[in-house]
Amino acid sequence: MSCVVYKIGECMQELIRLWKEYESSPADEACESSRNGPTLEIRIPAEHVTATNRQVRGGQLWGTDVYTVDSDLVAVLMHAGYCRPTASPPPSAAQELRATIRVLPPQDCYISTLRNNVRSRAWGAAIGCSYRVERCCIIKKGGGIIELEPCLTHSSTMEPTLAPVAVERTMTTRAAASNALRQQRFVREVTIQFNLCMEPWLKYSISAVADKGLKKILFTSSRLKKGEVLYLETHSQRYELCFNMEKVVKVPTVPYVHGSETGRTQTYNSHHSNGERNALDCESTVVDIFRWSLCKRPLPQKIMQNMGIPLPIEFMEVLEENLEWDDISWSQTGVWIAGREYALARAHFLSPI
């Protein structure tokens, strides 16, 4: 098995060379390789295993389970759940990661999924060759090996991405009833911070942006669709999250599974015409689309409401304007949008006057 060292944007050339060698092998061997393909071990220095890797930040990732040859391996390992998509590198005791990948033939199409807060992209044509990860481990500086397991979690297809906070059930004992101070521990604390314009806003927390109940009208996404706008601040910048539009998308209804090894859903049999495929394979559904923007400069709340909520586009730098609600992942410290993490300090809802 060949072994190469990971270099940002360069290591995939070895995959193309290996695949061309196997393609040019005798017919019986080529038939076997088309099912299994050669394997390659890639050594990844620990300092590259971070979400700040420019290939990861740039979203160089196409496919699910089976990826295009130009997909970055670190992004693939984060998408598959072998390592977390954080800005912090692995512990100092880790010297490198070693991943064993299998080279596979090009796929007819590569599908997009959101896994482990990383969104892969779709591609609708065969390209060079493909690969999948078969094994990954950490090599410690002392020589030990830690085997890593994938975590193939998917984002929920339900509209709410946050469960509402459960209502506390408290019971006051006879001893507690005589002590008012002990009863005060059941009162929720709310932390207020001053925003970038020195106005009081809520400190960011999951509960500040969570759905307020199980009914759809209480979902945060529904509040934004009705006209409310969510403003979020880091320690130096302000962002706007608002409803943008409704989009009609086609959803496949008659999938045709090609290839037992990958289990990938392909398009309907090629002898159908395009019109027949549209009629048989897809149905229309309406999807809510949201916009994520950077405020060019923070403005006082009264001025913002006089200008109009959401703010006029000339005061904004649009970062993402085609987001589905499942593309937005909240955490205790911030929000993940389009594969990028924003560490948040404050949150505030505003409504048009």
CATH number at residue 9: 2.170.130.20
Low-confidence ranges of the chain (pLDDT < 70): 1, 9-11, 27-35, 153-190, 251-282
* Residue 179 CA from chain centroid, whole number: 48
Residue 304 within any structural domain of the chain: yes
- CA–CA distances in Å: residue 329 to residues 130, 160, 317, 346, 352: 29, 11, 21, 16, 26
Residue 2's pLDDT is 75
pLDDT of residue 170: 46
pLDDT, residue 277, reads 45
Residue 209 placed within a domain: yes
Among the three residues 87, 118, 148, which one is the final residue of a domain in this structure?
148
The pLDDT value recorded for residue 116 is 85
**Could you tell me the residue range of the domain that residue 97 belongs to?**
2-148
pLDDT at res. 3: 83
Closest to 138 (Cα-Cα) out of 73, 44, 50: 44
The pLDDT assigned to 29 comes to: 52
Q: Let me know if residue 83 belongs to a domain.
A: yes
pTM of the model: 0.45
pLDDT, residue 56, reads: 86
Domain end: 82, 117, 148, which one? 148
Residue 293 resides in a domain: yes
In terms of domains, do 195 and 289 share one? yes
Write the pLDDT tens digit of every residue in 300-323.
999 998 999 999 999 999 999 999
233 and 297 in contact (C-beta within 8 Å)? no
Residue 199 and residue 346 in one domain: yes
Structural domains in the chain (count): 2
pLDDT at 296: 95
pLDDT of residue 34: 47
Q: Answer yes or no: do 101 and 237 share one domain.
A: no
Q: Is residue 125 located within the same domain as residue 234?
A: no
Structure tokens at 189: 């604390």
Q: Is residue 129 part of a domain?
A: yes
Same structural domain, 65 and 16: yes
B/e letters for 259-293, b = 16+ CB within 10 Å, e = fewer, are eeebebebbbeeeeeeeebeeebeeeeeebbbbbb
**In this structure, is residue 178 part of a structural domain?**
no
194 and 322 co-located in one domain: yes
